[in-house]
Chains A and B, each alone.
Chain A
Amino acid sequence: MASTNSPAGPATGFNIWRLWTDERHRGILSQAIVVILVALALVWVADNTRTNLDNRGLDIGFDFLADPAGIGIGVSLIEYRSTDTWLRAMTVGLLNTVLVSALGIVAATAIGFAAGIMRLLPNWLIRTIIATWVEFTRNVPLLLQIIFWWTLLLSLPTVRETLRIGDSIFLNNSGITGPSPVFEPGASAVLIALAAGVAAAWAVLNWARKRQAATGERLPAGWIALGLIVLLPLAVYFASGEPISWDTPTANRFGRLRGGLTVTPELVALWFALSTYTGAFISEIVRAGILSVSKGQTEAAGSLGLKGWQTTRLIIMPQALRVIIPPLTSQFLNLTKNSSLALAVGFQDFVGIGSQAQNQTGQAIEIVFSWMVVYVSLSLLTSAFMNWYNARIALVER
């Protein structure tokens, strides 16, 4: 018969003291106390904030989001005018944060893997150059690096000396400008065709891989996939009467390029700085990951006749990745958070526009709160994705 009595206390009736002497009860009790204390602390903080705000005649709430922002924004992924609301301005900022973080994560990963692998090459010169670069980049404050890249980009030719690359790409210290697509009615068909092409290409690649595993026969799947991605949308484009045109930039009286798409030096500086800085950290993670794979694996691969690059790709990396992914995730999170240094060069990210809003409206608490919510959410999303990926590549024991 199972007994619920704990051996620590007498079994007769209820005794207040048992809440303390019984290990299990004590656990629950102490947790309850902590929860209550934390709750009280929160209530106290909230109340204190409230009182202080009242004392200073400040009020709290998100009503300001519906007020017109009245500020100009340089880079925006969606349409924005200075008469739009703070909500829209903050959305522009959020998208800018996501944009620079995503670009940064992709580039940092590429740089990190390349540098990490190169650092293990037998060539002394390459190894030393990479090692010096890693040490340097990791140890110079990121803010300085952002300003460094920005200043460097500002030393490009000015608007008056704009460089022309090909027919319609322009480069000067206010950015690189090229034509941008204009979608007319019917353009969605082309985009759908593009999506279909990508999906079909993916299916073909998968099928070819399975076939090769089963029969050993190799198909030119890469070419077929490429053809699907390019030809399918192209065919639809012409069939539907060319519904996408190009907006080519033109210079105005100040030499400023208007129209088309401009990538500003602020964005590029931030992107370079974030991806090299984080890339340097990632390269160390990659190096450690590769070194964690036992040397016997390389030797075994060699004796099977695999070449150097094949060994790295097929034998070493899959095993190293298991070590690399968890710390890589935290580098991605760092990069996203570090992107908030954007304001230093005037790239208006979520923090930048938030502090403009805070400055103009005084709603500091609400804005700090929304910063926290946004960055925590971005972090959780990144982690969730990386955890999913990690689980996928985890070693399957057979």
Chain B
Amino acid sequence: MKIKSFTGMAAVAGILAVAGMAVPAHAATLDDVKSAGVIKCGINTGLAGFAFTGDDGKWTGFDVAYCRAMAAAVLGDPDKVKYVNLTGANRFPALQSGEIDVLSRNTTWTFSRDVDLGFTFVGVNYYDGQGFIGRKSLGVKSAKELDGASVCIQTGTTTEKNLADFFRVNNISYEAVPIETNSEARTAYQAERCDVYTTDASGLAATKSTFEDAEKHMVFPEIVSKEPLGPLVRQGDDQWADIARWVLNALISAEELGVTQANVEELAKGSKNPEINRMLGSEGSYAKMLGLEKNWAVNAIKADGNYAEIFEKFVGPKTPLGLERGLNALYKDGGILYSPPFR
């Protein structure tokens, strides 16, 4: 054996040893985010209303607004977000491996994701359900008449299993045309590669809003599943999960308490409502319990407004998506949106 290859081997061994050392010990996500100065937020690869690039090239939308509120609450600046675009299939490995700190990508809260995949869902920001969109010219009025149809479906989603279940339960057959991203699914559907496209009803509205011939398509009445969508974090870091949960709750409570993007600074100085005061930090020390600055909720609400403002701005009736609040109205307005109290 020659010395040269001995050094080579030693080098290999050295690299292995260093590689072993270099993996950091597990740290609290909040500390990581603070020291990085930016929060890594997983979002869609692009879905009108939920996550899209504005004219200035920056990401915005309903799901993005939550990332911004998080950054504002934790780092004091809604722009301190590093967006990571994820498909249905690679979003979970990204969160598990720490590539992102929080996932805000119309993800359905399910038993197996919560329990088996090792995530913590921090709440629901959109109560949704799976629907179908098809051309009116198909002459079909209900999804149950789709026997023999070709169905475009996004892989790696709850919707692909719901689809199989729906067709099996109704004893009808279909051809699956699985597609990885929403934009490719749209391409395939518009080219009539498939007769119908199925996904969350909100996603259908988003997709339909981008069609030039939107009036030629219809969303079928059936909603075949429950899809409570919400942000999630890795399991095992309770402090981080609490922050993520209460940022969401702050946005919802702000609507309930009448705190808006415009008046939040004013109200933060103190108001007659003690719950507002506790949330915005002029009473009590709730911020400290979370490990955040006093004005965390003020910043979060200032980013893109309260829940209602975000909803109206990106997906509400006045936007191309035209979604009604429906289930997503506050409990006192006939919906089921309900934040626990700041108490």
Q: Is A44 an interface residue (CB 8 A)?
A: yes
Residues of chain A within 8 A (CB-CB) of B136 are none
CB distance from A397 to the nearest CB of B (A): 32
Return the CB mask of A242-268 against B: 1 if under 8 Å, else 0.
000000000011101010000001100
Residues of chain A within 8 A (CB-CB) of B115 are 57
Q: Is A70 an interface residue (CB 8 A)?
A: yes
A364 touches B188 (CB 8 A): no
Which residues of chain B (116-168) have a CB below 8 Å from chain A? 116-118, 138, 147-151, 153, 155-157, 160-161, 163-165, 167-168
- B149, B184, B236: the one contacting A346 at CB < 8 Å is B184
Binds A, one of B34-42, B86-94, B259-267: B86-94
A71 touches B9 (CB 8 A): no
Q: How far is the CA of A73 from the CA of B23 in the complex (A)?
A: 39
Q: How far is the CA of A360 from the CA of B157 in the complex (A)?
A: 8
A356 touches B117 (CB 8 A): no
- A38, A41, A343: the one contacting B180 at CB < 8 Å is A343
Q: How far is the CA of A159 from the CA of B191 in the complex (A)?
A: 10
Residues of chain A within 8 A (CB-CB) of B178 are 71-74, 346, 348, 352, 356
Chain A interface secondary structure, helix, strand, loop or mixed?
helix
- B92, B150, B167, B179: the one contacting A254 at CB < 8 Å is B150
CB distance from B213 to the nearest CB of A (A): 14
A31-B1, A41-B17, A72-B178 known; A154-B191 Cβ under 8 A: yes
A72 touches B150 (CB 8 A): no
Return the CB mask of A157-177 against B: 1 if under 8 Å, else 0.
011100000000000011000
Residues of chain A within 8 A (CB-CB) of B147 are 252
Chain A: how many interface residues by the 8 Å CB criterion?
A: 57
Which residues of chain A (34-55) have a CB below 8 Å from chain B? 34, 37-38, 41, 44-45, 48, 52, 55
Q: Is B273 an interface residue (CB 8 A)?
A: no
Which residues of chain A (16-73) have a CB below 8 Å from chain B? 23-24, 26-28, 30-31, 33-34, 37-38, 41, 44-45, 48, 52, 55-58, 70-73
Residues of chain A within 8 A (CB-CB) of B165 are 70
Q: Is B12 an interface residue (CB 8 A)?
A: yes
A254 touches B138 (CB 8 A): yes
Q: Is A123 an interface residue (CB 8 A)?
A: no
Given contacts A37-B17, A72-B153, A355-B90, 7 further A-B contacts (CB under 8 A): A71-B164, A82-B164, A174-B192, A358-B92, A359-B92, A360-B156, A364-B96
Residues on B facing A (Cβ under 8 Å): 1, 6, 9-10, 12-13, 16-17, 19-20, 23, 26, 88-90, 92-93, 96, 112-113, 115-118, 138, 147-151, 153, 155-157, 160-161, 163-165, 167-168, 174-180, 184, 187-188, 191-195, 234-236
Residues on A facing B (Cβ under 8 Å): 23-24, 26-28, 30-31, 33-34, 37-38, 41, 44-45, 48, 52, 55-58, 70-74, 82-83, 147, 151, 154-155, 158-160, 173-174, 252-254, 256, 258, 265-266, 343-346, 348, 352, 355-356, 358-362, 364
Sort A-B residue pairs by CB-CB distance and give the 9 closest, nearest first. A27-B1, A72-B176, A82-B164, A56-B118, A154-B191, A359-B156, A158-B192, A362-B117, A252-B148
15 A/B residue pairs, CB under 8 Å, sorted by A: A27-B1, A55-B236, A72-B175, A72-B176, A82-B167, A82-B168, A155-B191, A174-B193, A256-B149, A266-B177, A343-B89, A343-B155, A355-B155, A356-B156, A359-B155
